[in-house]
Structure 1
Amino acid sequence: MSIEPRAPTTSAETARLLRLATWASVSTAGLLILVKVVAWGMTGSITVLASLMDSAMDAMASLLTLLAVRWSLRPPDAEHRFGHGKAQALAALGQSAFIAGSALFLGLQAVDRFLNPRPLTEIGIGLGVIAFAILVTLALLALQRHVIRRTGSPAIRADALHYATDLATNSATLVALGLAGLGWSWIDPILGLAIGLYILWSATRIGRDAIEMLMDRELPDEARWQILELARAIPEVRGAHGLRTRQSGQSLIIQLHLELDDALPLRQAHQITLAVEARIRERYPDSHILIHQDPVSLGREAMDT
C-alpha cells in the first residue's frame, strides 16, 4: 500500500471528482458489455467471451464502487467519528471477489474450448469491436488516474487496476482474433486461459491492498519519515515520536507526540501544535491529526507513553 502526497483539494472538489470517476466507470462498462455481446455472438471467440466476462464483472464492480464512494462521502456522525472512508476498502475487496470469479469462469470456458474446438466466424467484426473497447478503456483510465492523483481514493485505484487488466485482456483478444484469421484458431483458448490467470493475479493484488487498509496497516516508511520531519521543522518543537498512521478511504489518520519545553504556557504549546497540524495537512490534505504534547525533560521515557 503506497500513499503519495497529492495536490490539495477541497472536500467538494474531492466529492465531485469521485462521483465523476464512478459514473464514468459504470457507463463505460455498460457500453462495452453491449458491443462485446454482439461481437461474441457473431464470432464465437473464447477470447471475446473472456473480454465480455471481464466487462460484466467490471460493471458489477463499478456499480459497487459507485455505491461505496457515495457512502464514504457521508460526513462523520456520532457512530463513525472518523467518517465512512473504509467503505471504499470494502468496495475494493468486493471487486477482487468479482474479478476472481470471472477469472475462474473464464478458465473453465477456455479448457472446454480447447477440448472441444469450434471455428471462429466474423473475425473482422470482432477485431473492430475490441479495438473500440481499447480506445474507450484508455479514455476511462486517463480520467481515473487524474482522479487518483487528486484524491488518492483506494476504490478508484482498484477500479483503475481492473480496467488496466481489461486493456491487457482486450489487447490479447486482438492478437488471438488476428491469429485465428490466419488459421491459428487453436491459439484462442490458450490466450483465453492466460488472460484468466492474469485476471486472477490482478484480483489478488486488489484484495491484498483492501485487506491491508481494513487492518489499519501503517503508511510506508518514507511517508512516516516525511510526517515526522514536517513536525520537527517547527522551530519550537524539540522532538517528535510515537507516530501512528492509517488510511480510511482517501483520508489519513495521523497521531503523534510532540516534545516541547517544560516551561511553555499552555496557550503557546497549543499554538505550536496548531502550526504542526497545518504543516502536515498542507502536505496531506483530508487528514485527521491528533497530537499529544510531552515535556522534553521526560526524554526517552516519553517514547513509551
Structure 2
Amino acid sequence: MTGEERRRVIPLAMRAALASVAMATSLLALKGFGAWHTGSVAMLGSLADTALDLLASIVTLYGVRLAAEPADHDHRFGHGKAEALAALFQVALIAASAVGIAWRAVAAFGDPEPTRDAGLGIVVSAIAIGATLVLLWYQRTIIRRTGSIAILADNLHYQSDALLNGSVIVALVLDQFVGWHWADPVFGIAIALWLAWGAFQASSQAIDQLMDKEWPEDQRAAYIEVAARQPGIRGIHDFRTRRSGSHDFAQFHMEVDGDLSVTEAHEIVVNVEHRLRDAFPKVEVLIHLDPEGYEDTDNPLIEADVTPHWFGKRI
C-alpha cells in the first residue's frame, strides 16, 4: 500500500472509531437513566454492555491509530497487528460482561421484583436501536473500504447491542403488561449467552491474524493467477501469505530460465511486482528469484510449483 493510499484508508478507520466512542458515550447516559428508573435486569445488562462498548471503542480508537503508524526500525512490518490486539481486548470485555449479567440474572430468580415504568424503558431502547443501526451502517461502509479487523470487532459489539435493546423491550412488555416477572431475568441470561457467543466469534479473526493464518484459498488463487500470467515465469513455489491489520503480505519463490543474466531476471521480477501491485494495491509482495527446477529446501510444508495450469493462458 502506498503512502497516499494509507492516508486515505487510515482516516476512514479512525473516523469510524471516533463515531463509536461518541455513540457509546451518548447511549451510556441514556441507558443509565433508563436502568435506574425501571429497575430492569435486562436494561441493566444492556447498560453494562454499552459501558464495555465505550471502553472497547476507546481501545479500538487507540489500536487503529497505532496500526496506522508507519514501519519503523523496531517494527519493520508496521504496526498492523495492534488492531488484532485491540479486537482481543474487546473480546475479553464482552466475556466479562456476559459473566456479570448472568450472575445478576440468576440472583434475580431468587428474589424477583417487577420492573417499573416500561414505557420509559421501551422508548430508551427504541432510541438506542435506531442510533445503533445508523452506526452499524456507517461502520460497514468503512470495513468494506479498509478491511479493518478492529472496526469489524467493534461492529460485532454494536450488532449485539441492537439485539440486546430489542430483548429489553420484549422483557419489559412481558414483565409489566403480561405479568411474567420471570421474563426479565430470563432475557438477562439470554443476553449473557448471546454475548458469550459473540465473544467466541469475534476472537477467531483476531487470533488468525496474530497467528499469521494464510489467506482464503480463493484469494490465494486470484493472486497466484496474476503472477503466473506474466512473461518469463517458469514456475512459482513456496507461496506464503498473511495479514496484519488492513495490510496484506505475500511472498513466493519465482523460477525463471537459468540462462538469463542477472539484469534480465531482475527485469522480470520488477515487471511481476508492478502487475501485482496494480491488481492488488494493498498487498506488499516479496519475491525470491530461483533458476528453473531449483529446489532449495526439504521442508515438507513448502508448496511445489502452483502455476502449471496457467501457463497456456498468459496475457
* Residue 122 to residue 288, structure 1, CA distance change in 2 (3 Å): same
1:203 maps to which of 199, 202, 217 = 199
1:290 maps to which of 266, 275, 286 = 286
Higher relative contact order (CA 8 A, sep 6+): 1
Counterpart for residue 172 of structure 1: 167
**Aligned-pair CA distance for 1:177:** 1.6
1:143 maps to which of 127, 138, 141 = 138
Q: Which moves more between the two structures, 277-286 or 80-89?
A: 277-286
Aligned counterparts of 1:302 and 1:260: Cα–Cα separation in 2: 15
Contact 1:241 1:303 in 2 (8 A): no
Aligned counterparts of 1:213 and 1:206: Cα–Cα separation in 2: 12
Q: TM-score normalised to the size of structure 1? A: 0.92
Which blocks of at least 5 consecutive residues in structure 1 are unaligned?
1-8
2:11 maps to which of 16, 23, 26 = 16
Contact 1:133 1:170 in 2 (8 A): yes
1:277 aligns with 2:290: no
1:83 aligns with 2:78: yes
Q: Which moves more between the two structures, 128-137 or 207-216?
A: 207-216
Q: Which moves more between the two structures, 263-272 or 35-44?
A: 263-272
2:234 maps to which of 234, 238, 241 = 238
Partner AA of 1:54 in structure 2: D
SS at match of 2:51: helix
Aligned counterparts of 1:95 and 1:285: Cα–Cα separation in 2: 30
Q: Which moves more between the two structures, 128-137 or 161-170?
A: 161-170
Partner AA of 2:97 in structure 1: S
Taking only the aligned residue pairs, the percentage that are identical comes to: 44
1:189 aligns with 2:182: no
Structure 1 runs of 4+ with >6 Å offset: none
1:118 aligns with 2:113: yes
Partner AA of 1:199 in structure 2: L
Aligned counterparts of 1:76 and 1:234: Cα–Cα separation in 2: 30
1:11-160 alignment runs, 5 A limit: 11-160=6-155
Aligned counterparts of 2:297 and 2:232: Cα–Cα separation in 1: 19
**Larger-Rg structure:** 2
CA RMSD of aligned residues (A): 1.6
Aligned length: 295
